């Protein structure tokens, strides 16, 4: 397994599990000072996450939650580019762009983003080529269906095998587009076209994906599967999220995407300490 990721010259070691902090920029107000306030709040939040030990900040301008309203290209660019430009000058850790749109990938990397996080795994028009030209690490996430309808009766033959086939197909597509294997990460996409049983099977069998010999990224933070298990509302799912993140890391996940950086850093420190004691 590769030991380092290179984000435009900023290198990160994968020897210890890393935390990716989530920064959503989803304001809809562009006509007044509202947007400026949102962007300043975003910068503050990013600085805080960096200080708390995040290794990467993942910036997204379009919600991918089930039923979310799609955002236009211009709106997504207007939301994320100013924040990326400020952060690149301001903080010392790589910025990831959470997008599926080729033009947003290109603009974000030009502005200094060092990674692409795509819940569509480069299946939108032009995305393979944009990612190839960007020459930065790309996370290929599995999603069954599309955000608007993915949670309506998701169905698999065998969820772990089906997702392995999907990964194999996307790795081949990326390779054919000229994306270097050293720039690929995989993510099973918890909650993206999966019911509770699917999510549990994936978490219980996550180590199956180690056969690809590519770094695994997981996002479990605050997800509805944690609510289904514990009965907790979204703002009360931190303990469950830490348990889930720890289970994932003990099975080989290298990067954990989370809204709760400080707590997750501590959970992963415990995992790393145990994993280094054998
Ligand atoms: C994930 C993600 C979301 C995830 C990766 C949420 C953008 C929903 N979840 N990206 N994005 N993996 N790679 O609850 O699980 O944060 S959005």
Atom 9 of ligand 1, residue of closest alpha carbon:
219
Structure tokens at 134: 């960007």
Q: Can you spell out the DSSP letters for 171-235?
A: HHHHHHTT--GGGEEEE--TTSS--HHHHHHHHHTGGGGGGG-S-BEEE-TT-HHHHHHH---GG
Q: Tell me the average pLDDT across 130-157.
A: 93
**Catalytic one of 223, 236, 237, 278:** 223
- Which residue owns the Cα nearest ligand 1 atom 12? 219
* Window from 15-29, 199-213, 263-277 with minimum mean pLDDT: 15-29
Specify whether 3 is catalytic. no
Distance CA 207, CA 117 (A): 21
Report yes or no: 49 and 90 within 8 Å, Cβ to Cβ: no
Instruction: State the distance from the centre of ligand 1 to the C-alpha of 42, rounded, in angstroms.
Output: 18
Residue nearest to atom 14 of ligand 1 (CA): 223
Tell me: pLDDT of 34 over 60. Answer: no
CA of 98 to the centre of ligand 1 (A): 8
DSSP 3-state of 114:
coil
Ligand 1 atom index nearest CA of 119: 10
Q: Output the CA 94–ligand 1 centroid distance in Å.
A: 17
- pLDDT reading at 153 higher than 90: no
Q: How many of the other CB atoms lie within 10 Å of CB of 112?
A: 17
pLDDT in tens, 237-250: 999 999 999 999 99
The pLDDT value recorded for residue 35 is 63
* 257 included as an active-site residue: yes
Of the residues 101, 170, 237, 257, which is catalytic? Answer: 257
Structure tokens at 238: 């931190």
Q: Return mean pLDDT, the chain.
A: 93
Q: What is the pLDDT of residue 31?
A: 45
How many structural domains compose the chain?
1
Q: What is the CATH number of the domain that holds 38?
A: 3.20.20.20
Instruction: Name all residues whose Cβ lies below 6 A of ligand 1.
Output: 22, 60, 64-65, 98, 117, 119, 139, 141, 187, 189-190, 217, 219, 223, 257
Phi then psi dihedrals of residue 9, to 5 deg: 95, -20
* Residue position matching structure tokens 């069998």: 205
> What's the CA-to-centroid distance between 260 and ligand 1, angstroms?
13
Ligand 1 atom 15 nearest Cα: 219
Q: Note down the domain range covering 234.
A: 4-277
Q: pLDDT band at 29, cuts 50/70/90?
A: very low
Whole-model pTM?
0.96
Residue-level pLDDT at 148? 83
> What's the CA gap between 43 and 225, in Å, rounded?
30
Residue 40 has pLDDT above 70, yes or no: yes
Instruction: State which of 219, 222, 228, 240 you would mutate to test the pocket of ligand 1, scoring each by most atoms of that ligand within 8 A of its C-beta.
Output: 219
Please tell me the distance from the alpha carbon of residue 47 to that of residue 102, in angstroms, as a whole number. Answer: 27
List the single range of 7-11, 14-18, 42-46, 76-80 with lowest mean pLDDT: 7-11
């Amino acid at each position: 397994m590769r030991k380092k990721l290179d984000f435009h010259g900023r290198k990160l070691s994968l020897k210890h599990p890393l935390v990716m902090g989530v920064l959503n920029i989803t304001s809809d107000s562009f006509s007044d000072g509202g947007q400026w306030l949102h962007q300043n709040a975003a910068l503050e939040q990013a600085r805080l996450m960096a200080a708390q030990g995040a290794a990467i900040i993942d910036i997204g301008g379009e919600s991918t939650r089930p039923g979310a309203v799609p955002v236009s290209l211009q709106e997504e660019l207007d939301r994320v580019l100013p924040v990326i430009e400020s952060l690149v000058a301001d903080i010392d850790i790589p910025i990831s762009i959470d997008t599926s749109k080729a033009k947003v990938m290109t603009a974000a990397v030009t502005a200094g983003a060092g990674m692409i996080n795509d819940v569509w795994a480069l299946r939108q028009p032009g995305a393979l080529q944009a990612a190839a030209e960007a020459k930065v690490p790309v996370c290929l996430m599995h999603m069954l269906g599309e955000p608007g309808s993915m949670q309506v009766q998701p169905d698999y033959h065998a969820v772990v095998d089906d997702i392995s086939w999907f990964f194999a197909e996307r790795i081949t597509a990326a390779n054919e587009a000229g994306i270097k294997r050293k720039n690929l990460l995989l993510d099973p996409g918890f909650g993206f076209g999966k019911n509770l049983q699917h999510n549990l099977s994936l978490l219980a069998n996550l180590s199956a994906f180690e056969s690809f010999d590519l770094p695994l990224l997981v996002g479990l933070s605050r997800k509805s599967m944690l609510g289904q298990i514990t009965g907790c509302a979204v703002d009360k799912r931190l303990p469950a999220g830490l348990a889930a993140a720890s289970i994932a890391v003990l099975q080989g996940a290298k990067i954990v995407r989370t809204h709760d950086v400080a707590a997750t850093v501590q959970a992963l420190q415990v995992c790393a300490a145990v994993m280094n004691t054998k």
